[in-house]
Amino acid sequence: MVPYVISRFVFRDRAISFPWRGGGRWGALHWGWLVGVLVLGWLILPFYFITSGVYQNWPVVDTPDLIARLFVGVGAVGIWDELFFICTVFVLLRRHFPDAVANVLQATVFVSFLWELGYREWGPLLTIPFALLQGWIFLRTRSLAYVVTVHLLFDAVVFAVLVHAHNPGMWEIFLV
């Protein structure tokens, strides 16, 4: 927070901003992608988390208070991811590199971070395209609200899969 405040208000640097509304209203393609994110997450994430055993990198969530904490935590990390990796890392890298190179570099940092959070095994095969797509979507839409919405929808499926994996009989909504 302090470096941002100094950069913004002392040096008058406007590189980092948080463009919530971006390029206007969401069209049919935007809404379609949001549905696509849910469907792809529902199809891919249970297979990834359960068959690889990666869900065990998260603590058991078997009580209402732990499930609520996981829900808030997953959502908060998703928002933080976009604020940091898109609006800070990606934007600053774009000052020094072409968009495509900056996107690959921010995806590398993003995937490294998620690896440390527990997205192991073949998780990078999912997170690399996701991170690259988020950067590309941000370039196209200029909308932090949209990339956060995409991320939160994906994370909602992550949350549901984690609860399901730790409590197989609780939610019978996945194929795995």
Q: Considering the domain boundaries, does residue 52 fall inside one?
A: yes
For residues 110 and 172, the model is more confident at 110
- Rounded Cα distance, 126 and 60, in Å: 23
pLDDT score at 40 = 94
Q: Considering the domain boundaries, does residue 89 fall inside one?
A: yes
Q: How far is CA 137 from CA 146, 152, 166, in A?
A: 8, 15, 33
Q: Which domain holds residue 111?
A: 2-166
Give ∠ CA 70-16-131 in degrees, rounded to 5.
50
pLDDT score at 99 = 94
Q: Encoding tokens for residue 145?
A: 């609200």
pLDDT of 2 strictly over 70? no
pLDDT score at 8 = 65
Residues 83-126: tens digit of each pLDDT? 888 888 888 888 899 999 999 999 999 888 877 777 778 778 88
- Please tell me the total number of residues recorded for the chain in this structure: 176
Q: Considering the domain boundaries, does residue 172 fall inside one?
A: no
Q: Considering the domain boundaries, does residue 174 fall inside one?
A: no
| Number of Cβ within a 10 Å radius of residue 124 | 17
Residue 169: pLDDT band (50, 70, 90) is confident
Q: Considering the domain boundaries, does residue 33 fall inside one?
A: yes
Three-state SS for 65?
helix
Q: Considering the domain boundaries, does residue 101 fall inside one?
A: yes
Domain count, the chain: 1
Q: Could you tell me if 90 and 135 are in contact, meaning their C-beta atoms sit under 8 angstroms apart? A: yes
- Looking at the chain, list the stretches that DSSP marks H as alpha helix, in order from N- to C-terminal side: 2-5, 28-52, 64-81, 91-94, 99-117, 124-141, 144-166
* Residue 169 φ/ψ region, left for φ over 0, alpha for ψ in the -120 to 50 degree band, beta for the rest: alpha
Mean pLDDT of the chain: 85
Q: Considering the domain boundaries, does residue 14 fall inside one?
A: yes
Q: Encoding tokens for residue 97?
A: 């590199």
- Rounded Cα distance, 159 and 120, in Å: 16
For residues 144 and 68, the model is more confident at 68
pLDDT of 3 strictly over 70? no
Q: Considering the domain boundaries, does residue 36 fall inside one?
A: yes
Percent of the chain residues past pLDDT 70, beyond the cut: 89
pLDDT of 38 strictly over 90? yes
pLDDT score at 115 = 78
